[in-house]
Chains A and B, each alone.
Chain A
Amino acid sequence: MKKHKLLFNFFKSTNAIIGTSIIILFLLTALLAPYLAPQPPNAQSLKNALTPPGREYLLGTDEFGRSILSRIIFGARVSLNITLLASIVALGIGVPLGALAGYYGGVLDFIVEGLVDITWAFPVILAALAIMFILGTGLHSIMIAIGVVYWAGYARITRGQFLALREEEYVQAARAVGASNLRIIWRHLLPNSLAPLLVQLSLGMGQVILLEASLSFLGLGAQPPTPSWGSMLSKGQAYLLNASWLTLFPGLAIMLVVLGFNLIGDGLRDALDPRLSHTRK
């Protein structure tokens, strides 16, 4: 499909436009954080501790009197950095391995499937923790840990697609006229596997943000005073009864960004797969 046609199809969808807007907004927030934040994210003001949302502090303050809005703005940097790099790691490992396993089958499939099963045998949080134990804590470790944890999803989907598609008539026809394996994979199987992969990538990016937030919530991700959405929620739990804004707004920020990625994924799926898009009309 030509690029301009793809873009045209993509932006026909209201959801895709909303999703793209959310992600652009958060990218800009992360990039321009020092200029956008009304107060420095770590500036304490004990006399203003636990101030409800109002004129001076738009989203209120935490137990140290730090601006929730400023901390959310700076937290966007942590989340978006981790998302992009962890997804590249996951995709870079998962797609080639899944493609080889699905296309060639046999021993290769057995090994990749074994690796997928071993990876999936560990719940993602546990696996991420184990990897971080080995690599040590810190944002780089989180990126690698999350990326390594999520490779298997991409591999399983690519493998499943290749397995289903390799016996299709058009692939057999390509084989019959003498197309090489590489050509069949690159020209026929991969383009036809893109739609579910892109949907998975968009959902995957959301999952990465959720996992990072979970690790930070457990106190194992970004360390204080680095503002991260997950650790803000963790600290806010103690104030659920009398200062709910401590948990409300960081959670809302996580949800919005994940929603943005999900909406983009939906839009991409419809744009890439007109057949699917027709069924929606």
Chain B
Amino acid sequence: MYQYILKRVLMMLPVLLAVTIIVFLIVHLIPGDPARLVVGEMGSQQAYDRVRAELGLDKPLYIQYFSFLDRLFHLNLGKSIVYREDVTKLLAAKLPNTLELTGSALIFTYLFAIPLGILAAVKRNTVIDYLSMGLAIIGVSVPSFWLGFLLISLFAIHLHWFPIAGYGGIKYLVLPAVALGFGGAALVARMMRSSLLEVINQDYTVTAKAKGLRYWTVITKHALRNALIPIVTLLGLQVGWLVGGAVVIEIVFLRPGVGRLIVKSIYMRDFPVVQGITLILAVTVILGNLLADILYAVTDPKVRY
């Protein structure tokens, strides 16, 4: 087990390195000259040359990459073209808001989905099963931002239970977290149900039942542990999904996070900010995937490397 975890951590390092290469290359792959973007179309040749030297664009590509890595180790992500501020500083202000949203959505996803999936499996072919799976299949199909609009219309505009948009305490967090987490919750609930149904009919579960164990003991002690394995593998997917989905949800609910910042920066061609956010979000997702893989190994001893 520890060997597996160590291996996964070691495997993470090249991925991290690959991510830094891709993020570094963004500057060179986007159409247009980065130095020209910084000084603007009207900037003088002198200013252009100075910025080109500052960014190291006159040096060979691999030298540029190593100085990019060196800056990263010193937590220097460059300066925003639009805001004229350190990208690290901008991110430090916005990232906690995005993590708060994605974290809340993740908690909502699992708290809502696992009981729903178990209930549907245990009460299969009853009204409860049909209703929960109907809800789940609709949930998988709903665009999160549209669900956001519906939630705003119902709970903010008509019922006045929550604010329409903005940022503040938990009241401002509920609707965006539900809108963001609902699709994933539906997927997890569906997977939970089918996975549990498959396990329930396997020999060892039937044996446990035949031994005279109580139904819920069979479900919780025997079936659930194996049925949860596919659910755990979904966790890695969820993290990426939620972090990406936050980009859209922040725009729907006008929350000041990195999602809104990156979309604005893409429009403004503010490449240091785009690079910084891409890197930070990718690192978040990598750590989430690592956690999911470790949990996978914990729940499934059959995993061998």
Minimum CB–CB distance from B136 to chain A (whole Å) comes to: 10
Measured between beta carbons, the chain B residues less than 8 angstroms from A241 are: 157
Number of A positions contacting B (CB below 8 A): 49
Q: In chain A between 121 and 152, which residues have their CB closer than 8 angstroms to a CB of chain B?
A: 121-126, 129-130, 133-134, 136
Asked if B26 and A255 make an inter-chain contact with CB atoms under 8 angstroms apart, the answer reads: no
Cα–Cα distance between A280 and B140 once the two chains are bound (Å): 20
Asked if B146 and A254 make an inter-chain contact with CB atoms under 8 angstroms apart, the answer reads: yes
Measured between beta carbons, the chain A residues less than 8 angstroms from B267 are: 219
Asked if B149 and A120 make an inter-chain contact with CB atoms under 8 angstroms apart, the answer reads: no
Cα–Cα distance between A219 and B248 once the two chains are bound (Å): 11
| Interface assignment of A160: CB less than 8 Å from any CB of chain B | yes
Interface string of B185-203 (1 = CB under 8 A from A): 0010000001001101100
Minimum CB–CB distance from B43 to chain A (whole Å) comes to: 23
Interface string of B269-305 (1 = CB under 8 A from A): 0000000001001110110010000000000000000
Query: Which one of A134, A203, A214, A263 lies within 8 Å of B29 (CB-CB)?
Result: A134
- Assuming the A-B contacts A233-B145, A280-B197, are A240 and B153 also in contact, with contact meaning beta carbons closer than 8 angstroms in the complex? yes
Cα–Cα distance between A129 and B145 once the two chains are bound (Å): 18
* Nearest-CB residue, chain B, relative to A160: B233
Interface string of A193-207 (1 = CB under 8 A from B): 000000000010010
Measured between beta carbons, the chain A residues less than 8 angstroms from B251 are: 217-218
Cα–Cα distance between A117 and B17 once the two chains are bound (Å): 12
Asked if A123 and B247 make an inter-chain contact with CB atoms under 8 angstroms apart, the answer reads: yes
Asked if B15 and A233 make an inter-chain contact with CB atoms under 8 angstroms apart, the answer reads: no
Asked if A114 and B18 make an inter-chain contact with CB atoms under 8 angstroms apart, the answer reads: yes
Measured between beta carbons, the chain A residues less than 8 angstroms from B240 are: 120-124
Max count, chain B CB within 10 A of own CB: residue among A153, A210, A236, A254: A210
Asked if A276 and B194 make an inter-chain contact with CB atoms under 8 angstroms apart, the answer reads: yes
Measured between beta carbons, the chain A residues less than 8 angstroms from B289 are: 117, 120-121
- Assuming the A-B contacts A121-B289, A217-B145, A237-B252, are A130 and B26 also in contact, with contact meaning beta carbons closer than 8 angstroms in the complex? yes
Q: In chain B between 1 and 19, which residues have their CB closer than 8 angstroms to a CB of chain A?
A: 11-12, 14-15, 18-19
Measured between beta carbons, the chain A residues less than 8 angstroms from B152 are: 240
Asked if B244 and A124 make an inter-chain contact with CB atoms under 8 angstroms apart, the answer reads: yes
* Nearest-CB residue, chain B, relative to A263: B137
Interface string of B87-121 (1 = CB under 8 A from A): 00000000000000000000000000000000000
Query: Which one of B15, B236, B283 lies within 8 Å of A118 (CB-CB)?
Result: B15
Asked if A122 and B141 make an inter-chain contact with CB atoms under 8 angstroms apart, the answer reads: no
| Interchain pairs with CB closer than 8 A, number | 146
Cα–Cα distance between A134 and B31 once the two chains are bound (Å): 7
Minimum CB–CB distance from A169 to chain B (whole Å) comes to: 14
| Interface assignment of B22: CB less than 8 Å from any CB of chain A | yes
Cα–Cα distance between A241 and B157 once the two chains are bound (Å): 8
Interface string of B241-264 (1 = CB under 8 A from A): 101110110011000000000110
Cα–Cα distance between A247 and B152 once the two chains are bound (Å): 12
Q: In chain B between 131 and 168, which residues have their CB closer than 8 angstroms to a CB of chain A?
A: 137-138, 140-146, 149-150, 152-153, 157
Minimum CB–CB distance from B235 to chain A (whole Å) comes to: 12
Cα–Cα distance between A236 and B252 once the two chains are bound (Å): 11
Cα–Cα distance between A240 and B149 once the two chains are bound (Å): 8
Cα–Cα distance between A115 and B183 once the two chains are bound (Å): 26
| Interface assignment of A90: CB less than 8 Å from any CB of chain B | no
Measured between beta carbons, the chain B residues less than 8 angstroms from A153 are: 237
| Interface assignment of A180: CB less than 8 Å from any CB of chain B | no
Cα–Cα distance between A146 and B30 once the two chains are bound (Å): 18
Measured between beta carbons, the chain B residues less than 8 angstroms from A219 are: 267
Measured between beta carbons, the chain A residues less than 8 angstroms from B285 are: 120-123
* Nearest-CB residue, chain A, relative to B263: A218
What are some 22 contacts across the A-B interface (CB < 8 A)? A113-B11, A117-B15, A117-B286, A121-B240, A121-B283, A121-B289, A122-B278, A122-B285, A123-B241, A123-B245, A125-B244, A214-B145, A217-B251, A218-B248, A233-B145, A236-B149, A259-B141, A262-B140, A276-B198, A279-B124, A279-B197, A279-B198
8 more CB-based (< 8 A) A-B contacts, given A117-B12, A136-B31, A262-B140:
A121-B283, A125-B245, A126-B244, A134-B29, A247-B146, A255-B146, A280-B125, A281-B125
